[in-house]
């Protein structure tokens, strides 16, 4: 059995194509491997920008935290625990202005925590998470895969590698707002099906 963390970030909720594709993949895993799925929808429950107060709470020893700091630290602790408890992360992510949705950035800012998910050594940073597979389901209105305008793909590779997750695969559904969009969507569906098998 595998534990899947399904991260959703589209503003489009039920109409979202990235959510639909990622749901399909999670359903395949559930059927084939009796996977358990935990969903974190960061668009439905958006995270605010990271604040100095929240970082201050992380840096205050747990026993010395005020009530407010306990509550603030709990946000990141909960999100990190969800990642730690999973062996597969499915990340459903639309392209917003050439990058990731700002809510995803707010999530990532709470996942990268010194001493918990990464540490600095004499030779540079080392990720502290391991043995997790990351599958990114990336939807775009236009066509950007493999071009310099796709800052999203490199950011996701760098971010997940920074915390130790280097086993990362991308499935793209591009050109969804273009005339051949439906074809691209069904191609992504087929790729996801073979990926799960």
Using CB under 6 A as the binding rule, whether residue 97 contacts ligand FMN is answered as yes
Query: Which run of H or of E encompasses 121?
Result: strand 118-121
Helix/strand/coil for 19: helix
Contact 144, 109 (CB under 8 A): no
CB closer to ligand FMN, 68 vs 178: 178
Using CB under 6 A as the binding rule, whether residue 170 contacts ligand FMN is answered as no
Using CB under 6 A as the binding rule, whether residue 81 contacts ligand FMN is answered as no
| Chain centroid, CA 9 distance in Å | 8
Q: Which of 94, 103, 113, 159 binds ligand FMN (CB under 6 A)?
A: 94
Question: Pattern 107-146, binding to ligand FMN, x per CB under 6 A?
Answer: --------------------------------xxxx-x--
Selection from 26, 28, 21 nearest residue 187 by Cα: 21
Tokens encoding 66: 């005020």
The torsion angles phi and psi of 76, rounded to 5 degrees, stand at -70, -40
In the complex, least distance from residue 119 CB atom to ligand FMN, rounded to whole angstroms: 34
Using CB under 6 A as the binding rule, whether residue 152 contacts ligand FMN is answered as no
Single out the segment in contact with ligand FMN by CB under 6 A; choices: 62-70, 96-104, 108-116, 121-129.
Answer: 96-104
Contact 113, 76 (CB under 8 A): yes
- Count residues binding ligand FMN (CB under 6 A): 19
What is the C-alpha to C-alpha distance for residues 37 and 101, in angstroms, rounded to an integer?
22
Per CB under 6 A, residues contacting ligand FMN are 10-12, 16-19, 94-98, 139-142, 144, 176-177
């Amino acid at each position: 059995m595998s534990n899947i963390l399904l991260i959703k970030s589209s503003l489009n909720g039920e109409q979202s194509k990235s959510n639909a594709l990622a749901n399909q993949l999670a359903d395949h895993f559930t059927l084939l491997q009796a996977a358990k799925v935990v969903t974190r929808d960061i668009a439905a429950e958006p995270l605010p920008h990271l604040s100095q107060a929240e970082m201050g709470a992380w840096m205050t020893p747990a026993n010395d935290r005020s009530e407010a700091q306990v509550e603030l630290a709990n946000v990141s602790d909960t999100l990190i625990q969800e990642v730690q408890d999973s062996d597969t992360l499915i990340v459903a992510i639309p392209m917003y202005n050439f990058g990731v949705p700002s809510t995803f950035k707010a999530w990532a800012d709470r996942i990268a925590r010194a001493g918990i998910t990464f540490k600095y050594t004499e030779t540079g940073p080392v990720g502290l998470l391991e043995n997790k597979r990351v599958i990114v389901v990336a939807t775009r209105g236009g066509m950007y895969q493999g071009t310099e305008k796709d800052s999203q793909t490199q950011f996701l590779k760098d971010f997940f590698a920074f915390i130790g997750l280097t086993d990362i695969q991308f499935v793209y559904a591009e050109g969804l707002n273009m005339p051949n969009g439906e074809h691209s969507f069904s191609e992504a569906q087929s790729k996801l099906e073979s990926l799960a098998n």
